Chains A and B, each alone.
Chain A
Amino acid sequence: MSKDEQIDELRDEIEELKNLIKNLSKSQAEAYKDFDASDRELEEKERKLNEKIQRDIERANRRKEREEHIHVRGPKPPKPPKPAKPAKPARHARPASPAKPVKPFFADDFNFDFDFDFDSDEFKDKMKTIMKKVEKASEEGMKTAKKVSEKLSKDFHKFLEKETDKITKGVELSDEDYAEMKHDVSKERKHIDKAQREVDEARKEVDEARRYVNSIQRRLEHAYRDNDVKKQVEIEKDLLREEKVLMDSMSHLSRTRSELAQTRREFARLQRRAGKIRAAQKKGHGPIIISRDKLGEDGTISEYVAKVVNSVGKNLESTFRTAVGDRKKGVRKVLSVEDDINLISPNGRVDIEALEQFYENAAELLSALGDKNRLKLLKILENSPQYQKELSEDTGLRGGTFKHHTDILQDEGFITREAIRGRYLITQLGIEALKLAEMIYLREKQLEEEEIDIDIED
């Protein structure tokens, strides 16, 4: 067989296969259509049936009420049937399955037959035991709730008195007293936790009782359906009584719970107060706690005072720092006096070279401040950066004079200038220098006033 013939044969085969595929896809599409139609039919029937069932139940309920003329709290209306979910669209990958024959489904097929006999002794016994359990649970709940509330109120009053006493005597608090107070607080916290557990238990019991009542309600519903009127009345009476008992125990529980919450709030308030006292003590505003080991042999606190004075000295030393501008990077570098100017050498002598440098640099810095126009410039720039024009208008300086003053301030690192917009900004060193000038001025003024006072007294 030649190649051409083979190719022709293959082509024929391909065409046949194509036809086959077409036929298959057609039959598949038809099958899908049938399947969808049957789904829709089923859905429609279900919906109609549900509606009919609901109508029947409602009608039956209304008829019963009319016949008996008894005003009782009826059972909960049956839940409306959930709307049927829309049928899922058939997946393309799913093989076409033959449409299932739908079984005819009518309302007559549906009945309310229950296996349980409500008149039987077994049911009565069960009901009795349930009632007993409910009664028992509610009584226990009441008892526990009462116990908890009494205990809580007692504990709370005791704790409140004790802590109020301690806080009023807070000025005389020592370390030991404070520790005792903390211990008491933790003890009370434990008590509250225990009470909380008890309340939780009571709540569980009430929940259980509630479940029993619910179960009775369900039974009552069944009885309604069974049309046993006498039984219904009896169960309903019992149910009402039990519900009342349950409601009482629940309200008691809620009262107990609110009392517990109040106790907790008070406890938290006390804790906050204790915390505030502690914080105030740390800052030195409140009563100071002095541990006994800090007291001297004779009970004085001289050593302690000496320590405090030393720490104040250290603080003063650290505040005596100066901001030195790094000319190149320049705006935030802060060095301490100790690091930068070693006025005293390690062997205790005065370092003359360091002093010379100090004299020279300090004189330069102060001379940059020694002009009212430059001080004016610094004061204006303290608030916000300014363009040359604005500064010139505010200070009255123009041209060369303006440049002279700004150059001096820039050289000493008191001000700097933006490279792009050209605004002038005050540096950190500039702010410090301005503050120094203001401080000297105010101090001088104060001294002058004091002198005048002395003269008047003389």
Chain B
Amino acid sequence: MRLYIKNRPLKITHSFEYTFNNKQVKISLSKNTILLPIFDEKKNRQIGYILDGPVGIIADLLVHSQEGAVGELIDEIYSNVLLFPVNLPFLTPDHVKEIQPLEDISKHEEIVKKYRVQIVHEEYISYEEREGVMIQTYNPSSLWFISKDSTFLIDTEEIIGRREEKKLFWLVKDSFTTVNNKGHVKSTKDLFSITKVQKTVHRILDTPLTSIFSRFSEIFASI
């Protein structure tokens, strides 16, 4: 998929934090951060934004289990991110305003070129309908999927997903851990199982964005 940006910038008027409905992820945006709309070249349709400015993501990707807390607390600051879809709940006139076109957007175009969008955007979800947001970061490279009850983080070192209060799966380089509804922890270091899970997750990434959250839910159903 080829992306391009249009010089119709928005600007964050004041710093603010937004907690997603699942109470697992908080995004913090700084004042004067520039937002430029991203378009799909093939369909000539806006699919999201590129945010140029420090974007903080804090996530509670840990759950209580019979063996104690399992998972991680994520606290990362990214210099720029791609945000999908278009109608995001925190991009309201209270927080953003339209500004004059920028003199030079070549810098932003270069940033967009660096991103390799891995998801098939056949149909674009709206936040109101599905409550699903995808955030793609470049440095460090990672993919965030935030739905109304779950959060998934896929980065180069690990894949971690949390659903509601109790369910979690966590795949790091050499081990795969799951926590089920009853708080039972299962952990394996079997390379065959780990490779299988990795393949399953990467196969999910080839699905359209509309069905990606239900596919992740399927993973949880098997825990």
Partner-B contacts on A (CB < 8 A): 329-332, 384-385, 416, 418-421, 425-431
CB pair A420–B26 under 8 Å, yes or no, is: yes
A429 neighbours in B (Cβ, 8 Å): 68
**What distance in Å separates the Cβ of A318 from its nearest Cβ neighbour in chain B?**
14
The answer to the question of B201 belonging to the interface, with a C-beta cut-off of 8 Å to chain A, is no
The answer to the question of B155 belonging to the interface, with a C-beta cut-off of 8 Å to chain A, is no
- 1/0 per residue, CB under 8 A from A, across B148-172: the answer is 0000000000000000000000100
B62 neighbours in A (Cβ, 8 Å): 331, 416, 418, 425
Q: Which of B8-16, B36-44, B69-77, B93-101 contacts A (4 or more CB under 8 A)?
A: B69-77
CB pair B58–A420 under 8 Å, yes or no, is: yes
Choose from A416, A419, A420, A421 the contact partner of B69 (Cβ within 8 Å).
A416
- 1/0 per residue, CB under 8 A from A, across B24-35: the answer is 111000000000
**What is the bound-complex CA distance between A420 and B73, given in angstroms?**
10
Among A419, A430, A431, max chain B CB count under 10 A is at: A419
3 tightest A-B contacts by CB? A428-B68, A425-B69, A431-B68
CB pair A430–B25 under 8 Å, yes or no, is: no
Q: What are 10 A-to-B residue pairs whose CB atoms are below 8 Å?
A: A331-B69, A331-B70, A419-B58, A420-B25, A420-B60, A425-B69, A426-B69, A427-B69, A428-B68, A430-B68
CB pair A331–B19 under 8 Å, yes or no, is: no
**What is the bound-complex CA distance between A385 and B64, given in angstroms?**
7
**What is the bound-complex CA distance between A384 and B60, given in angstroms?**
16
B64 neighbours in A (Cβ, 8 Å): 384-385, 425-426
Number of A-B contacts defined by CB within 8 Å: 54
**What distance in Å separates the Cβ of A105 from its nearest Cβ neighbour in chain B?**
60
The answer to the question of B23 belonging to the interface, with a C-beta cut-off of 8 Å to chain A, is yes
Q: Which interface class (under 10, 10 to 19, 20 to 34, 35 or more) fits B?
A: 20 to 34
**What is the bound-complex CA distance between A330 and B187, given in angstroms?**
16
Which residue of chain B has the shortest Cβ distance to A414 in the bound complex? Answer: B68
Which residue of chain B has the shortest Cβ distance to A384 in the bound complex? Answer: B64
**What distance in Å separates the Cβ of B26 from its nearest Cβ neighbour in chain A?**
5
Choose from B26, B58, B60, B68 the contact partner of A331 (Cβ within 8 Å).
B68
CB pair B70–A332 under 8 Å, yes or no, is: yes
If A330-B72, A332-B70, A385-B64 are given as contacts, then 5 extra A-B residue pairs at C-beta distance below 8 Å, sorted by A number, are A332-B170, A418-B60, A418-B73, A419-B60, A429-B68
**What distance in Å separates the Cβ of A283 from its nearest Cβ neighbour in chain B?**
22
CB pair A419–B75 under 8 Å, yes or no, is: yes
Majority DSSP secondary structure for residues of A touching B: loop
Which residue of chain A has the shortest Cβ distance to B22 in the bound complex? Answer: A420
Choose from B59, B69, B75 the contact partner of A428 (Cβ within 8 Å).
B69
**What is the bound-complex CA distance between A418 and B59, given in angstroms?**
9
Which residue of chain B has the shortest Cβ distance to A383 in the bound complex? Answer: B64
**What is the bound-complex CA distance between A439 and B83, given in angstroms?**
52
**What is the bound-complex CA distance between A429 and B67, given in angstroms?**
9
B177 neighbours in A (Cβ, 8 Å): 332
CB pair B23–A331 under 8 Å, yes or no, is: no
CB pair A419–B23 under 8 Å, yes or no, is: no
**What distance in Å separates the Cβ of A154 from its nearest Cβ neighbour in chain B?**
49
A416 neighbours in B (Cβ, 8 Å): 62, 69, 73
B19 neighbours in A (Cβ, 8 Å): 420
**What distance in Å separates the Cβ of B168 from its nearest Cβ neighbour in chain A?**
11
A421 neighbours in B (Cβ, 8 Å): 23, 60
CB pair B24–A420 under 8 Å, yes or no, is: yes
**What is the bound-complex CA distance between A431 and B71, given in angstroms?**
15
**What distance in Å separates the Cβ of A122 from its nearest Cβ neighbour in chain B?**
71
Which residue of chain B has the shortest Cβ distance to A416 in the bound complex? Answer: B69
CB pair B71–A331 under 8 Å, yes or no, is: yes
CB pair A420–B23 under 8 Å, yes or no, is: yes
**What distance in Å separates the Cβ of A99 from its nearest Cβ neighbour in chain B?**
53
**What is the bound-complex CA distance between A40 and B136, given in angstroms?**
67
B69 neighbours in A (Cβ, 8 Å): 331, 385, 416, 425-428
**What is the bound-complex CA distance between A385 and B170, given in angstroms?**
20
**What is the bound-complex CA distance between A416 and B59, given in angstroms?**
14
**What distance in Å separates the Cβ of A432 from its nearest Cβ neighbour in chain B?**
8
Choose from A329, A385, A428 the contact partner of B67 (Cβ within 8 Å).
A428
A428 in contact with B58 given A420-B23, A420-B25 (CB within 8 Å): no
**What distance in Å separates the Cβ of A180 from its nearest Cβ neighbour in chain B?**
37
B72 neighbours in A (Cβ, 8 Å): 329-331
B60 neighbours in A (Cβ, 8 Å): 418-421
A428 neighbours in B (Cβ, 8 Å): 67-70
B187 neighbours in A (Cβ, 8 Å): 332
B25 neighbours in A (Cβ, 8 Å): 420
A426 neighbours in B (Cβ, 8 Å): 64, 68-69
A418 neighbours in B (Cβ, 8 Å): 60, 62, 73
Among B68, B73, B75, B187, max chain A CB count under 10 A is at: B68
B23 neighbours in A (Cβ, 8 Å): 420-421
**What distance in Å separates the Cβ of B71 from its nearest Cβ neighbour in chain A?**
7
CB pair B68–A419 under 8 Å, yes or no, is: no
**What is the bound-complex CA distance between A430 and B73, given in angstroms?**
17
Which residue of chain A has the shortest Cβ distance to B26 in the bound complex? Answer: A420
**What is the bound-complex CA distance between A380 and B91, given in angstroms?**
41
**What is the bound-complex CA distance between A176 and B208, given in angstroms?**
61
CB pair A431–B67 under 8 Å, yes or no, is: yes
**What is the bound-complex CA distance between A421 and B63, given in angstroms?**
12
A330 neighbours in B (Cβ, 8 Å): 72
B24 neighbours in A (Cβ, 8 Å): 420
B75 neighbours in A (Cβ, 8 Å): 419
B71 neighbours in A (Cβ, 8 Å): 331
